[in-house]
Structure 1
Amino acid sequence: MSEKKTLLLVDGSSYLYRAFHAMPDLRAVPGDPASPPTGAIRGMINMLQSLRKEVTADYAACVFDAKGPTFRDALYPEYKAQRAPMPDDLRAQIEPIHQVVRLMGWAVLDVPGVEADDVIGTLAVAAAAQGVEVFISSGDKDLSQLVNEHIVIVDTMNGKRRDVAGVTAEFGVPPALMVDYQTLVGDAVDNVPGVDKVGPKTAAKWLTEYGSLDALVARSAEIKGAAGENLRKALDWLPTGRQLLTIKTDCDLNGWVPGLPALDAVRVGEPDNAALKTFYEQYGFKGLAKALADKASAAASAAEAPGLFDEPAPVTPSITQVAYDTILDWEAFNTWLARIDAAELVALDTETTSLDEMVAEIVGISFSVTPGEAAYIPLMHDYPDAPAQLPRDEVLAKLKGWLENPAKKKLGQHVKYDRHVFANHGIEVQGYVHDTMLQSYVLEVHKPHGLASLAERHLGRKGINYEDLCGKGAKQIPFSQVSIDKAAEYSCEDSDQTLDVHRTLWPRLEKDAQEGGKLRFIYELEIASSETLYRIERNGVLIDAPTLAQQSHELGQRILQLEQEAYELAGQPFNLGSPKQIGEIFFGKLGLPIVKKTATGAPSTDEEVLEKLADDYPLPAKILEHRGLSKLKGTYTDKLAQMALPGTGRVHTHYAQAVAVTGRLSSNDPNLQNIPIRTPEGRRVREAFIAPPGCLIASADYSQIELRIMAHLSGDAALLLAFHDGMDVHRATASEVFGVPTSAVTSEQRRYAKTINFGLIYGMSSYGLAKSLGIDNTAAKNYIERYFDRFAGVKRYMDETRASAKAKGYVETVFGRRLYLPEINSPNGPRRGGAERAAINAPMQGTAADLIKLSMNAVQRVLDAEGRKTKMIMQVHDELVFEVPENEVDWLKREVPKLMAGVAQLRVPLLAEVGVGVNWDKAH
């Protein structure tokens, strides 16, 4: 299975109004009022450039309202009747804005008869249904009704993120109820009435109590007071209001752009720099034009000496003729079974009913033993007139012996997924020796690892897109309804290309090993880790639903209490999720100091500002606590129990290997690595991770692992001595920096030293240290200088690492994992600085990631060899979590730390510590 793609949709109409009002009255010829206005154009360029840096996307479109009426105008002639006409100066900039957006590489959509929100809704829902993650950039609250697990709204202008938890926290109702909420409240901007005198608070309260607008209407006679009377008066209007406010997600866009909503039509394009330069010069943007000229000059210089990060030259296709078989009878099956049984290596791929590996069932299987040749066994295609297929259970029973034979070597693309799918049918596949996704991840971590990308990049081969096969959006069909001839071509192509990619990448790993490199070791580590992670994911972790429900209730009570306390401090009710209202209260009513401004020039109320103001003022502290608890409730206490498999009560996270460039794992659905354990409420979430009767939870983690790796890499004598002597390394650092005996180090000095130790690992500057410690820049600079004086080996390591990274374009972990740094020689100062900081930190993070993978593999081998009942159930950063029978606790406490400490010999001893408890929290 390939990695998820990302679609970025920009609410262009919202953007251009923001740009127009945020920018001064710029003109193509400065100072000439008769010259064309350019402020909105420049603002639009700035916002899109910033957004492109912040959100990496495979597909992107900027969506504008087209001229002319829509169905809403016919439904309700007063729709948007109160809106002021577009200012002439803004209207004059619309066409140039469309032009420059296209030149910047964005698809521009303005579909006649369809509002921008409906275009966005149609594309977002269609993409999400195809497994694509969708980001919508807009400040429009109306789009909140689209939000779900795969659709998120980001508002880069004020730092707001409206995911499911964010929408719920902001409006008091989840996204699924936003249309009902908006129908009750109305929309004054679009002139859509709601229920008279019913505001956000009442609407949220009603929907929380009754569950939906329909249920509320059905029981409207029960609602007392003026609000109830007004609701009953509005009953005839509400269906029309709801229709006006509901974003359509099934618009027919095909008549405008062939193939929409097929995503290829909005694939991210490269900017047309030559045309952009001409455009910038035409509209007086001299700085932008010069930046492009400088970039072109740098690119020309780089072209003379091809570098590590250059785009590869087009590849001549490795295969031009293919021979694919479809197996519909036992004779053909037996022929191919004999063929795969005799083959040295077989590429294997499954077609399934779901992307969720824990519930996916097999629809078909394909094999390839020679590039250009493959076979597909359709098993569960169920469309009308589908040809008879071999019975799935019988086919799997006949394949089981070959699949479970470790001597029969197999490969795939993301084999961990396929292992789960076969396990769902009672088959434990053995003999997976290669994974092309992991080969790419090890060899070229800075590039995409999906099969389509690999095949095109290395083989010059293009394949069939899933959406071309199954359709799009609401009309998308399951794979079981794809015609067998098309399904066979698609699946055979996957197996065939996987084998072909392997034959290209594997020799590179072998060659590196022959030349003394360590990449093959890293690849073998990833293959072994894939096997262990499959076991961890399969085990899952038991969740205590009543505990989570109680925590959700308590959090909800505290959230309501915080709202009341915030209202009292503000002297009025307000929306704690609204930056605009917060800004009005902070800076207009209460006169709080302005810390920084947004891109539009408004005072910022982002997290950083709130944290700074919270040091001196109680209201920002209340808002911060409210945000944190709302996110905790929406993300974890409300959701975790719902994500448990019915019947087992266990949550099965997915560990993605080929994501983080440092080698760290990414946990998702649910994300178990981001539980905010620095707060008491966050730590309590871990109380719900429990063991079944007769078992306990055990946690084993490395102690100060990245500081130990720093000591090893730098060879600094003082750091090595501190770890070898078992000293408190932060106390030892404080002793050196402050020039006092270790026995005289104060708690404050130790805290400073700890901040310095960890800060330098992450490339912290004197400014960053000053901010962290609450001291002035001069004092922070002196502390850092004193640190480097006393720990000269650390300074030497940092200087040498930066120089090596600039020369090679990458750094390495202790074990040889390569961590590429495309921006290390960038002419852009901030980007280059970020790459230099990464050059220092990445070897430590990457080595820590390698160590925990070595540890979990070593522990799993011993668990298997000794037939232990202990299960590894989670890996969280530097920690392994176990479900351990009570009679194996002593063994685990004794042996697991030894195994973890013994996976590598560094210049300092590795130390792992174990805690045991009735739940994950108590195990710490």
Structure 2
Amino acid sequence: MTDALNPDTVTLPSDKPKTLLLVDGSSYLYRAFHAMPDLRADPSDPSSPPTGAIRGMINMLQSLRKDVHADYVACVFDAKGPTFRDELYPEYKAHRSPMPDDLRAQIEPIHQVVKLLGWAVLDVPGVEADDVIGTLAVEGERQGMNVLISSGDKDLAQLVTERISIVDTMNGKCRDLAGVEAEFGVPARLMLDYQTLVGDAVDNVPGVEKVGPKTAAKWLQEYGSLQGVVENAAAIKGVAGENLRKALEWLPTGRELLRIRTDCDLAQWIPAWPAMESIAATAISTSSTEQLADFYQRYGFKSLAKAVLGGAAADKPARTAKTSGAGGTGDLFAPAAQADEVQDALPAASHASTRQYHTVLERAPLEALLQTLQTAELVALDTETNNLDEMRAEIVGMSFSTQPGVAYYIPLAHSYPGAPEQLPRDEVLALLKPWLEDASRPKLGQNVKYDRHVLANHGIEVRGYVHDTMLQSYVLEVHRPHNLTSLAERHVGRTGISFEDLCGKGAKQLTIDQVEVERVAEYACEDADQTLDVHLTLWPRIEQNAKLRFIYELEIASSEALYRVERNGVRVDAGVLARQSQLLGARIMELETEAHQLAGQAFNLASPKQIGEIFFTKLGLPVVKKTATGAPSTDEEVLEKLAEDYPLPARILEHRGLSKLKGTYTDKLAALALPRTGRVHTHYAQAVAVTGRLSSNDPNLQNIPIRTAEGRRVREAFVAPEGCVIASADYSQIELRIMAHLSGDAALQRAFQDGHDVHRATASEVFGVAIDQVSNEQRRYAKTINFGLIYGMSAYGLAKSLGIDNTAAKNFIERYFERYPGVKLYMEQTRELARAQGYVETVFGRRLYLPEIKSPNGPRRAGAERAAINAPMQGTAADIIKLAMVAVQQALDAQGQATRIIMQVHDELVLEVPLAEVDWVKQEVPRLMANAATLAVPLVAELGLGPNWEAAH
């Protein structure tokens, strides 16, 4: 791959030869739709036209035109209606979802604004955008032009030649001849053959079954072409060879479907085609500028409209407008120089107009930087490290940005041959430490928790982090990606160097310290600069909304607490784990033997194919459901159903569960512990779950199974050190309490306010018996109903869970809603609200977006409706446990306690408590958790103590 696409590293020739820039508009508009926030022309009116894709398209084209200097530009879209491929193969693209209504509504305005921005727009019926791009590219090459195609579609790689290359603006990579071969393992001239073998699942074009990229590349390298592979099909052994021979009749059709046409007749859409050099350039006039401003006003882009009207240069000569009509006819290519007259009038979505990146290699500029940091209002900082594991990572360099477009990189540990002399790391960190540890110096980062750990590894406790762009994105648009690359692209229209651009990928990937200082300096400065740039865009949106600001401040406080929790870690007993692994291993072997005996033969218990043959061919077990290919399924749901009546599926289920437990936990936990402490330090991902809940990994402490004795025993290995005990503080029935609060249902609230067992109270209501007469079976039914309904369970699902018929389940649900009418009303109103505004909120204002709530796909829409009911409860529970964690940590600090929070799992805080502080913890922690939020019903936290985590429950 060539260097990342940016003004300093990519400069296309502007004189001879000419450069043709082609944009895959269809690829762009989908990216814009999925990347931009859910904008409306009138934010206060949910029924006003959607505008996110339009604004995203503007940003992306702005960024591309600033980065690429081209002579001619055009944007190509897919036209409406079928193409020749649909006639060739009716199943072509049969699995593709229909275009979302909100995107469809923005197609025509997108075409309109692209033209107003000075881009020619082309959509040709009967073929796809790729075919038009291919035809233009090949003709441009024939006429001596360099051609750059901007698209995220890898299929276009078959067009690459010495003069035709492709840039993917999502990651800044440029696919030239060398790049294509490096990425796919075959030269560009063989990409069509490669694609034919692999197939295209997105477009529903089959390839050779079970032949993936590696096998396809290997065959083409060995036999030279698809024709060579076909001619040698009889000699290719194994399942892959057998599948190849089965596909021989299909391959010519598949190849024709995947071949990008380069011979489209464009005479109707391009004057004097194919004499491109004679095409008159589209000019941009004052009237076009006014049209653009009118467009921006109409769709609510007030700042863009203001900039266009205020930025049109009066001293530039007026030009005659010559724009295309709606059908894409008229002049095709607009010279870049003229298009830039409008482009220059547009504000850059970025706050940086120029880039000034500095590499600090000497003491004098370092001291000057320190002075700059001391006086800056806000500093974005970033670390470059040699390890993604924050507990083990060491600093290779640091970058800082104090104003948009200005950044500094201090290399500290680059160790490749010929690396320049760098300032001593320990000395630099010692000089930075007072500023880093000064809470009065405001700091900003992207995922600041990681950088805090890295600096803590060097003895620096950073204070003064007031902002985190990852968390800003998480609060504003929880359903979108939160990495810096995505944020920069969709919010400030910037692309940059990716980590893979810098270090490579796979087995040959370098660590940062092995990469040239000059290249890392640009990458690191860009990260700090983009972080500041994104912050300046996102923070004002949060600041003006009181609810979102509260959630953001909670996330910032939670990040601080979670850093402490991760740093603390939890001690694990390697001996206990080893003994558990031994016992599990013995039981797994017993189960395998029993399964073989029940099957009457040996087989692989992990092979769905072998299990299916034994179940349905040999033993004649009933088929519960089928896979997408029509074969009988043996997934976990099927095994659970069959296990109710047959011993073999039960043995396989137990074998799978114990194998996973052993492989994931008892075999690995001790190895994950730091040798010097014997403690494991999980990573809590704060910006993953759309409900606001935390995600734990390396190790995942939230997925330790607790429904089986073996799973619960794993928690026995999480132990307290000598002189301490483990405390587990867990909220009682928090989601049901939140439902009582949200729904306002009097009967449900009364059950909690009176301190009743809510499941017995529900059973009493549903079954019409006194609460002290409720049987255990009735309570079990009520518990299933209570939890099932808040998760959107249907009568069918309830019947399945309780083992009763659908009619009885339906009657239970009807009786439940008769007794708790407030719950039913809440569910109905919440569905309607979600449909109207596209999101729901927690009690505290966290927004939970539901992109599928208006989906034409019934199951997806139903899933979104279930989520609309449950998400406010899960999200509020997530907010409350974060509030509790912050409150407990602050109390521990204020009281000077040695007690440490060592885990946060679902609705539970786990603490390591010195014996001398047990009484304080028993009294204060449940109180702090109960008072973390005020609901219409009381919150209750129960605390247990023990020598290990399991005993504390």
Identical pairs, percent: 69
The equivalent residue for 2:108 is none
Separation of aligned partners in 1, 2:199 and 2:710 = 50
Tell me by how many angstroms 1:461 deviates.
1.4
Separation of aligned partners in 2, 1:681 and 1:455 = 47
Deviations 1:105-152 (A, max 9, x none): 99999999962386999xxxxxxxxxxxxxxxxxxxxxxxxxxxxxxx
Q: Which residue type is aligned with residue 379 of structure 2?
A: V
The equivalent residue for 1:898 is 927
Separation of aligned partners in 2, 1:906 and 1:555 = 45
Separation of aligned partners in 1, 2:744 and 2:730 = 24
2:734 counterpart of 1:695:
no
Separation of aligned partners in 2, 1:460 and 1:787 = 52
The equivalent residue for 1:595 is 624
2:930 counterpart of 1:830:
no
Give the direction of change, closer, same or farther, for the CA distance of 1:341–1:505 in structure 2 (3 Å limit).
same
Deviations 1:614-645 (A, max 9, x none): 11111111110011001111111111111111
Give the direction of change, closer, same or farther, for the CA distance of 1:825–1:108 in structure 2 (3 Å limit).
farther
Separation of aligned partners in 1, 2:509 and 2:209 = 22
Separation of aligned partners in 1, 2:756 and 2:437 = 50
2:613 paired residue among 578, 584, 587: 584
Give the direction of change, closer, same or farther, for the CA distance of 1:529–1:728 in structure 2 (3 Å limit).
same
Deviations 1:59-80 (A, max 9, x none): 998999xxxxxxxxxxxxxxxx
The equivalent residue for 2:370 is 337
Tell me by how many angstroms 1:474 deviates.
2.8
Separation of aligned partners in 2, 1:106 and 1:119 = 18
The equivalent residue for 1:169 is none
2:565 counterpart of 1:536:
yes
Give the direction of change, closer, same or farther, for the CA distance of 1:374–1:95 in structure 2 (3 Å limit).
closer
Count of paired positions: 675
SS at structure 1 position matched to 2:544: helix
The equivalent residue for 1:142 is none
Deviations 1:498-551 (A, max 9, x none): 1111111111111113xxxx0000000000000000000000010101111110
Deviations 1:448-507 (A, max 9, x none): 111111111111111111111122333322111222222111111111111111111111
Over aligned residues, Cα RMSD in angstroms?
3.5
Give the direction of change, closer, same or farther, for the CA distance of 1:478–1:105 in structure 2 (3 Å limit).
farther
User: Any conservation in 1 of the 2:198–2:207 contact (CA below 8 Å)?
Assistant: no
The equivalent residue for 1:882 is 911
Give the direction of change, closer, same or farther, for the CA distance of 1:577–1:743 in structure 2 (3 Å limit).
same
Gaps of at least 5 residues in structure 2 are 1-85, 99-150, 158-191, 222-236, 243-257, 265-295, 302-345
2:690 paired residue among 661, 667, 680: 661
The equivalent residue for 1:347 is 380
Deviations 1:737-760 (A, max 9, x none): 111111221111111100000000
2:551 counterpart of 1:522:
yes
2:463 counterpart of 1:430:
yes
Separation of aligned partners in 2, 1:344 and 1:890 = 45
Tell me by how many angstroms 1:886 deviates.
1.0
Separation of aligned partners in 1, 2:493 and 2:818 = 54
Q: Which residue type is aligned with residue 950 of structure 2?
A: D
2:809 counterpart of 1:809:
no
Note the 1:779-794 alignment, pairs <5 A.
779-794=808-823
Tell me by how many angstroms 1:735 deviates.
0.7
User: Any conservation in 2 of the 1:770–1:779 contact (CA below 8 Å)?
Assistant: yes
SS at structure 2 position matched to 1:498: helix
User: Any conservation in 2 of the 1:347–1:498 contact (CA below 8 Å)?
Assistant: yes
SS at structure 2 position matched to 1:882: strand
The equivalent residue for 2:518 is 485
Instruction: Give 1 or 2 for the bigger CA radius of gyration.
Output: 2
Tell me by how many angstroms 1:330 deviates.
1.2
Q: Which residue type is aligned with residue 734 of structure 1?
A: A
Note the 1:614-653 alignment, pairs <5 A.
614-653=643-682
2:797 counterpart of 1:768:
yes
User: Any conservation in 2 of the 1:62–1:106 contact (CA below 8 Å)?
Assistant: no
The equivalent residue for 2:449 is 416
The equivalent residue for 2:428 is 395
Separation of aligned partners in 1, 2:393 and 2:770 = 62
Give the direction of change, closer, same or farther, for the CA distance of 1:105–1:619 in structure 2 (3 Å limit).
closer
Deviations 1:690-709 (A, max 9, x none): 01111111100100000000
Give the direction of change, closer, same or farther, for the CA distance of 1:473–1:704 in structure 2 (3 Å limit).
same
SS at structure 1 position matched to 2:550: helix
Separation of aligned partners in 1, 2:575 and 2:532 = 48
2:419 counterpart of 1:406:
no
Deviations 1:349-382 (A, max 9, x none): 1111111000110111111111011111111112
Note the 1:314-325 alignment, pairs <5 A.
316-325=349-358
Separation of aligned partners in 2, 1:108 and 1:710 = 52
User: Any conservation in 2 of the 1:328–1:378 contact (CA below 8 Å)?
Assistant: yes
The equivalent residue for 1:671 is 700
User: Any conservation in 2 of the 1:411–1:432 contact (CA below 8 Å)?
Assistant: yes
The equivalent residue for 2:415 is 382
Separation of aligned partners in 1, 2:810 and 2:347 = 50
User: Any conservation in 2 of the 1:63–1:109 contact (CA below 8 Å)?
Assistant: no
Give the direction of change, closer, same or farther, for the CA distance of 1:106–1:666 in structure 2 (3 Å limit).
farther
User: Any conservation in 2 of the 1:404–1:427 contact (CA below 8 Å)?
Assistant: yes
1:730 paired residue among 748, 754, 759: 759
The equivalent residue for 1:707 is 736
User: Any conservation in 1 of the 2:881–2:907 contact (CA below 8 Å)?
Assistant: yes
User: Any conservation in 2 of the 1:319–1:461 contact (CA below 8 Å)?
Assistant: no
Separation of aligned partners in 1, 2:398 and 2:205 = 39
Separation of aligned partners in 2, 1:782 and 1:304 = 55
Separation of aligned partners in 2, 1:434 and 1:857 = 17
Q: Which residue type is aligned with residue 614 of structure 1?
A: A
Give the direction of change, closer, same or farther, for the CA distance of 1:304–1:784 in structure 2 (3 Å limit).
farther
Tell me by how many angstroms 1:319 deviates.
2.6
The equivalent residue for 1:683 is 712
The equivalent residue for 2:601 is 572
Tell me by how many angstroms 1:343 deviates.
1.0
User: Any conservation in 2 of the 1:374–1:492 contact (CA below 8 Å)?
Assistant: yes
Note the 1:908-923 alignment, pairs <5 A.
908-923=937-952
1:755 paired residue among 784, 788, 808: 784
With structure 1 as the length reference, what TM-score do the two structures score?
A: 0.69
The equivalent residue for 1:451 is 484
SS at structure 1 position matched to 2:480: coil
Separation of aligned partners in 1, 2:658 and 2:300 = 48
Separation of aligned partners in 2, 1:497 and 1:378 = 19
Separation of aligned partners in 1, 2:727 and 2:220 = 47
Q: Which moved more, 1:453-462 or 1:908-917?
A: 453-462
Q: Which residue type is aligned with residue 848 of structure 1?
A: A
The equivalent residue for 2:326 is none
Separation of aligned partners in 2, 1:918 and 1:419 = 31
SS at structure 2 position matched to 1:764: coil
2:541 counterpart of 1:441:
no
Q: Which residue type is aligned with residue 894 of structure 2?
A: A
Deviations 1:226-284 (A, max 9, x none): xxxxxxxxxxxxxxxxxxxxxxxxxxxxxxxxxxxxxxxxxxx9x99xx9xxxxxxxxx
The equivalent residue for 2:174 is none
Note the 1:294-333 alignment, pairs <5 A.
316-333=349-366
2:394 paired residue among 334, 345, 361: 361
2:903 counterpart of 1:870:
no
Tell me by how many angstroms 1:603 deviates.
1.4
Give the direction of change, closer, same or farther, for the CA distance of 1:97–1:111 in structure 2 (3 Å limit).
closer
1:116 paired residue among 216, 226, 240: 216
SS at structure 1 position matched to 2:729: strand
User: Any conservation in 2 of the 1:364–1:377 contact (CA below 8 Å)?
Assistant: yes
Deviations 1:793-839 (A, max 9, x none): 00010011111111111000001100000111111111110000000
User: Any conservation in 2 of the 1:352–1:479 contact (CA below 8 Å)?
Assistant: yes
